[in-house]
Amino acid sequence: MSFITGKHMARRTFLRGMGVTVTLPFLDAMVPAGFAKTRADGRTRLVCIEEVHGLAGCNEWGHQQGLYAPSTVGADFELVPDNPLTSLLPYRDYLTVISNTDVRMAEAFSLPEIGGDHFRSTAVFLTQSKPKQTQGSDIYCGTSLDQLYAQKFGQATPMPSMQFCIEALDQAGGCTYNYSCVYTDSVSWASPTEPMPMIRDPRVAFDMLFGAGTTPEDRAARRKSRRSILDWIQGEVADMRKDLGPTDRVRLDRYLENVREVERRIQMVEAHNTSGEHRELPEAPIGVPDSFTEHMQLMFDLQVLAFETDMTRITTFKTGRDAQNRVFPESPSSQPFHPASHHGNREDRILEFNKINQFRVGQLPYFLDKMKETMDGEQSLLDKTVVVWGSPMADANVHNHRRCPLMLLGKGDGILKGNLHLKAADGTPMANVFLTLLNELGVEDINSFGDSDGRFSVTQPVGASS
C-alpha cells in the first residue's frame, strides 16, 4: 500500500494497481492526534458555471413578470412560480441572487464587431475583458476569475483546475465575424493569450481523475474487459480498511460506491453509443450521452469526486453554446434553443424560451444535492464552496449585455450568507462582483478586474449598513 502508516495517514493517499490510481477522500485517519477534524488545507473550492445566451427574465416584459430578478431586495426575497430560480428554493440559505450588473466588454465597440456577440461572449464572462477581433493566432482577451484563483491556490493539487463543457468544440466554419473559435470554445483563460482546454467527454475526465491506464491501449483493453478500476485495487482496499475506524470505513465505502456508480454509467453510455442504435448526437464522442440531463449529471458527479479527493479545488463548466439549435426533449419545450431565444418580444414566445431556461437552471439542484451530501471534515462541500453561475448576455432576443443574470451558491467557508437578493445600481459592471469575490477568496493583491470601477458587497444590499 502507498499510504504512510504511523500516527496518521497522509492527506494525499493513493491506492494503485495495474495503471489505476485512486485518490482517497478526506478521512479522520488523516488528522493528527489532538487536531480538529477539519480539512487540513482549509482552502475554499470555486466552481464557475456559464449559462449561455441569457434568460427570458432579462427581457423587459420578462423582467416585469419577475422571470429572473426577485421583486424584493434583501433577505427572504420572493419568486413567482415561473421564475427558473424556483427550483433552487430548497437551497435558499445557500443562494445569493445578484441582479442588474452589466457585461459591457461583450458589446460591440466598433462597426466590424456588430453582430459578433455569439462569438465573443463566452470569452468575456469570466475575464470581463474585451476579446481582440481576429481569426489568427494573435488572440487576446484577459485572465479569468477561476485562473487567477488557481494560480494562487490551485498549485498544491495534482490539477490546478479542471474545465468542463457540454457542447461540441472547434466547430469548423462555425465562428464568424472575424472571431477565432477559441473565444467561443473556452470560458477559462490562464492569461490573455492562453485559453484553457475544455473537457466534453466524461470518460476523459474520469481517466484523468483516476489514472485509469497508462496508455490508450491499456485503457481500451480495460474498457473492453468491462472490469471496474476498483477491481484492480481490491486487495489494497481490504488491507486499508483493517486500520480504519468505523466512521472512516463507512465514508470510504460510500466514496468507492460513488466512483463505481459513475464509472458504470459511463460504461452504459459507451455501450449504447457503440451499439449501432440511433444517436441524437452522432458527432459526439462515445462517452457523451445524448441526454442533456444525463451529461450534466455525470459532469457534476465528476466535479464532486474531484473536490472530495482534493484532485482540484477549481472547476469551470460551460453548459452550452450561444447559437446552438439543440432541442431538449426532457424539457417542456419542443423548440430549438437559439431560435426560441429570438422571441421577437412576443409574450407567448418569451414564455416558451422561459420553459427552456427553467429546464436548464433545474439541473443545478442535482449538483447542490451531491455537494451537500458530501462531507469534507465536519462540513459539507457546499458549505466550503463558492459556485458562480451567470451569463454574459441578458436579453438574447437583441443580444443585450446589460442587466445580466448572476447568482452565487454555497457558503464559501463563510464568504457568503445566502438567502439574499442584491440589486446593483444601474451601470454596475459584473466585474465589480468578481473583483470582490477574488479579494474575499484570498486573492488580495489585485485592485481591479476587467472593466471594474469599484467593489460590490456580496453580503449587503446596496446602501445597507453593516
Q: Lowest mean pLDDT of 3-17, 96-110, 404-418, name the range.
A: 3-17
Question: Residue 266 and residue 201: Cα distance in Å, rounded?
Answer: 10
- What pLDDT sits at residue 44? 96
- The amino acid sitting at 370 is K
Confidence of residue 221 (pLDDT cuts 50, 70, 90): low
> With 90 as the cut, is the pLDDT of residue 28 above it?
no
- What pLDDT sits at residue 3? 42
Question: Residue 439 and residue 213: Cα distance in Å, rounded?
Answer: 40
- What pLDDT sits at residue 47? 98
Confidence of residue 86 (pLDDT cuts 50, 70, 90): very high
Question: Residue 460 and residue 163: Cα distance in Å, rounded?
Answer: 31
Q: To which H or E segment does residue 89 belong?
A: none
Of the options 1.10.287, 3.40.720, 3.40.50, 1.10.390, the CATH number for the domain spanning 43-200+288-440:
3.40.720
Cβ proximity of 145 and 431 under 8 Å: no
**Grid coordinates of 92:** 435558499
- Please, what is the end-to-end C-alpha distance for the chain in angstroms? 53
> With 50 as the cut, is the pLDDT of residue 405 above it?
yes
Cβ proximity of 428 and 102 under 8 Å: yes
Q: To which H or E segment does residue 191 belong?
A: strand 189-191
* Mean pLDDT score across all residues of the chain: 91
For residues 119, 174, 314, 128, the Cα torsion angle rounded to the nearest 10 degrees is: -10
Domain range annotation of the chain:
43-200+288-440
Question: Nearest to residue 125, comparing CAs of 89, 165, 93?
Answer: 165
- Give the pairing type, strands 95-102 and 194-195: unpaired
> With 50 as the cut, is the pLDDT of residue 271 above it?
yes
- Average pLDDT rounded to a whole number, residues 107-115: 95
- What pLDDT sits at residue 460? 86
> With 90 as the cut, is the pLDDT of residue 83 above it?
yes
Confidence of residue 40 (pLDDT cuts 50, 70, 90): very low
Cβ of 456: how many Cβ atoms within 10 Å? 22
Question: Residue 152 and residue 160: Cα distance in Å, rounded?
Answer: 9
Cβ proximity of 96 and 74 under 8 Å: no
**DSSP 8-state assignment for residue 443:** -
Question: Residue 386 and residue 367: Cα distance in Å, rounded?
Answer: 13
Confidence of residue 224 (pLDDT cuts 50, 70, 90): low
Which one is predicted more confidently, 465 or 43? Answer: 43
